[in-house]
Amino acid sequence: MSDVPAELKYLSSHEWVLVEGNTATIGVTDHAQELLGDLVYVELPEQGSAVAAGDSVGVIESVKAASDTFAPVSGEVIEVNEELEGSPERINHDPYGDGWMYKVAMEDLEEIEDLLDAGAYSETIADEE
Protein backbone atom coordinates (compact mmCIF):
# COMPACT_ATOMS: atom_id res chain seq x y z
CA MET A 1 0.00 0.00 0.00
CA SER A 2 1.19 3.47 -0.88
CA ASP A 3 1.77 6.15 1.69
CA VAL A 4 -0.99 8.84 1.67
CA PRO A 5 -0.25 11.42 4.40
CA ALA A 6 -3.42 12.70 6.10
CA GLU A 7 -2.30 16.35 6.23
CA LEU A 8 -2.03 16.77 2.45
CA LYS A 9 -4.57 17.45 -0.29
CA TYR A 10 -4.57 15.59 -3.60
CA LEU A 11 -5.56 15.51 -7.25
CA SER A 12 -6.78 12.27 -8.78
CA SER A 13 -3.90 12.73 -11.28
CA HIS A 14 -1.57 11.96 -8.34
CA GLU A 15 -0.28 15.38 -7.32
CA TRP A 16 -0.16 16.29 -3.63
CA VAL A 17 -0.42 19.79 -2.12
CA LEU A 18 0.73 21.09 1.23
CA VAL A 19 -0.91 24.43 2.06
CA GLU A 20 0.85 26.73 4.53
CA GLY A 21 -0.64 30.24 4.64
CA ASN A 22 -1.11 31.06 0.96
CA THR A 23 1.87 28.97 -0.15
CA ALA A 24 1.16 25.62 -1.78
CA THR A 25 3.99 23.10 -2.02
CA ILE A 26 3.34 20.57 -4.78
CA GLY A 27 4.72 17.16 -5.60
CA VAL A 28 3.59 13.77 -6.89
CA THR A 29 2.37 10.97 -4.66
CA ASP A 30 4.05 7.80 -3.50
CA HIS A 31 1.52 5.89 -5.56
CA ALA A 32 2.51 7.83 -8.70
CA GLN A 33 6.21 7.18 -8.24
CA GLU A 34 5.49 3.49 -7.71
CA LEU A 35 3.46 3.32 -10.89
CA LEU A 36 6.08 5.15 -12.94
CA GLY A 37 9.14 3.38 -11.55
CA ASP A 38 12.62 4.93 -11.55
CA LEU A 39 12.35 8.58 -12.55
CA VAL A 40 15.00 9.93 -14.91
CA TYR A 41 13.78 13.34 -16.02
CA VAL A 42 11.57 16.08 -14.61
CA GLU A 43 10.40 19.21 -16.42
CA LEU A 44 8.86 21.79 -14.09
CA PRO A 45 7.23 25.19 -14.55
CA GLU A 46 9.66 28.11 -14.42
CA GLN A 47 10.04 30.24 -11.35
CA GLY A 48 7.99 33.41 -11.77
CA SER A 49 5.56 31.84 -14.24
CA ALA A 50 1.81 31.79 -13.64
CA VAL A 51 -0.02 28.48 -13.45
CA ALA A 52 -3.76 27.82 -13.40
CA ALA A 53 -5.45 24.95 -11.60
CA GLY A 54 -5.87 22.01 -13.96
CA ASP A 55 -3.16 23.09 -16.42
CA SER A 56 -0.52 20.67 -17.54
CA VAL A 57 2.59 22.44 -16.26
CA GLY A 58 5.33 19.85 -16.57
CA VAL A 59 6.37 16.33 -17.31
CA ILE A 60 7.87 13.61 -15.19
CA GLU A 61 9.53 10.77 -17.02
CA SER A 62 10.59 7.40 -15.77
CA VAL A 63 12.59 4.83 -17.66
CA LYS A 64 9.38 3.39 -18.99
CA ALA A 65 6.96 6.29 -19.46
CA ALA A 66 6.32 10.03 -19.56
CA SER A 67 3.51 11.52 -17.52
CA ASP A 68 2.10 15.05 -17.53
CA THR A 69 1.87 16.79 -14.21
CA PHE A 70 -0.97 19.19 -13.46
CA ALA A 71 -1.20 22.31 -11.32
CA PRO A 72 -3.59 21.69 -8.41
CA VAL A 73 -3.97 25.43 -7.67
CA SER A 74 -3.59 28.78 -9.45
CA GLY A 75 -0.95 31.41 -8.80
CA GLU A 76 2.67 32.34 -9.31
CA VAL A 77 5.45 29.80 -9.10
CA ILE A 78 7.69 31.19 -6.36
CA GLU A 79 10.18 28.36 -5.98
CA VAL A 80 11.22 25.29 -7.97
CA ASN A 81 13.12 22.29 -6.59
CA GLU A 82 16.30 22.65 -8.64
CA GLU A 83 17.74 19.46 -7.14
CA LEU A 84 15.33 17.38 -9.19
CA GLU A 85 17.06 18.33 -12.43
CA GLY A 86 20.16 16.36 -11.52
CA SER A 87 18.51 13.91 -9.12
CA PRO A 88 14.95 13.07 -10.21
CA GLU A 89 15.22 9.85 -8.19
CA ARG A 90 14.54 12.01 -5.10
CA ILE A 91 10.88 11.65 -6.05
CA ASN A 92 11.20 7.86 -5.80
CA HIS A 93 13.03 7.96 -2.50
CA ASP A 94 11.09 10.69 -0.73
CA PRO A 95 8.01 11.84 -2.70
CA TYR A 96 6.61 13.97 0.17
CA GLY A 97 9.95 15.40 1.31
CA ASP A 98 13.08 15.90 -0.82
CA GLY A 99 11.02 15.06 -3.89
CA TRP A 100 8.77 18.17 -3.71
CA MET A 101 8.53 19.87 -7.11
CA TYR A 102 7.50 23.53 -6.84
CA LYS A 103 5.74 26.13 -4.69
CA VAL A 104 2.91 28.39 -5.74
CA ALA A 105 1.70 31.64 -4.13
CA MET A 106 -2.01 30.92 -4.25
CA GLU A 107 -4.41 33.51 -5.67
CA ASP A 108 -7.56 31.90 -4.37
CA LEU A 109 -7.49 29.86 -1.18
CA GLU A 110 -10.96 28.52 -1.95
CA GLU A 111 -9.40 26.29 -4.60
CA ILE A 112 -8.35 24.03 -1.72
CA GLU A 113 -11.98 23.00 -1.42
CA ASP A 114 -11.82 21.42 -4.87
CA LEU A 115 -8.97 19.09 -3.88
CA LEU A 116 -9.30 15.56 -2.53
CA ASP A 117 -8.50 14.77 1.07
CA ALA A 118 -6.36 11.76 1.96
CA GLY A 119 -9.36 9.47 2.38
CA ALA A 120 -10.88 10.38 -0.97
CA TYR A 121 -7.55 10.06 -2.76
CA SER A 122 -6.92 6.65 -1.16
CA GLU A 123 -10.25 5.52 -2.58
CA THR A 124 -9.35 6.64 -6.09
CA ILE A 125 -6.14 4.63 -6.05
CA ALA A 126 -7.55 1.59 -4.22
CA ASP A 127 -8.73 0.07 -7.50
CA GLU A 128 -5.27 0.34 -9.01
CA GLU A 129 -3.39 -1.33 -6.18
Residues 23-82 that bind other proteins (CB under 8 A): 34, 37-38, 40-41, 43, 59, 61, 63-64, 66
Coil, strand, or helix at residue 129?
Answer: coil
Distance of closest approach, residue 89 Cβ to other proteins, in angstroms: 8
When the beta carbons of 20 and 128 are compared against other proteins, the nearer one is 128
Distance of closest approach, residue 98 Cβ to other proteins, in angstroms: 17
Q: How many angstroms separate the CA atoms of 33 and 103, rounded?
A: 19
Distance of closest approach, residue 65 Cβ to other proteins, in angstroms: 8
Q: What angle do CA 34, 74, 9 make, to 5 degrees?
A: 40
**DSSP track, 24-91:** EEEEE-HHHHHHH-SEEEEE-PPTT-EE-TT-EEEEEEESS-EEEEE-SS-EEEEEE-THHHH-TTHH
When the beta carbons of 42 and 116 are compared against other proteins, the nearer one is 42
Residues 91-120 as x/- pattern, contact with other proteins by CB under 8 A? -x----------------------------
End-to-end distance of the chain based on CA atoms, in angstroms?
A: 7
Interface residues with other proteins (CB under 8 A) are: 34, 37-38, 40-41, 43, 59, 61, 63-64, 66, 89, 92
